[in-house]
Amino acid sequence: MGWASCGTDSRGRPIGYAHVATCDEPGCMSPIDRGLSHACGDMHGPEDKEGGVGCEGYFCSSHLVACEDGISRCGSCAAEYGWDS
């Protein structure tokens, strides 16, 4: 199985880079896909590959924060868990 289309998230949305979407930030209409490069936590699902935390959302580059642990998260998760850019 590849990452182009790899199932659905907990909201029933298709995930993978083949699925066109818009940023999950409220009010943002930037086009994205639901691939790993747009995933909060750098992995599909609520926990990233390092055992950290993400929100299972998908965001444009303007709404992802490069955290000090090297993993990109949305601004809300970065602030809630104390990761800084």
**The total number of structural domains that make up the chain:** 1
30 within some domain: yes
Count of C-beta atoms within a 10 Å radius of residue 28: 13
Q: What average pLDDT does the chain have?
A: 87
CA angle 45, 21, 2 (to 5 degrees): 55
Q: Which of 46, 72, 71, 68 is nearest to 60 (CA)?
A: 72
20 within some domain: yes
66 within some domain: yes
State the residue range of the domain holding 67.
16-80
pTM of the model: 0.86
31 within some domain: yes
pLDDT tens digit string along 14-47? 999 999 999 999 999 999 999 999 999 888 776 6
As a whole number of angstroms, the distance between CA 50 and CA 42 comes to: 10
- 54 to 1, 61: CA distances (angstroms): 23, 15
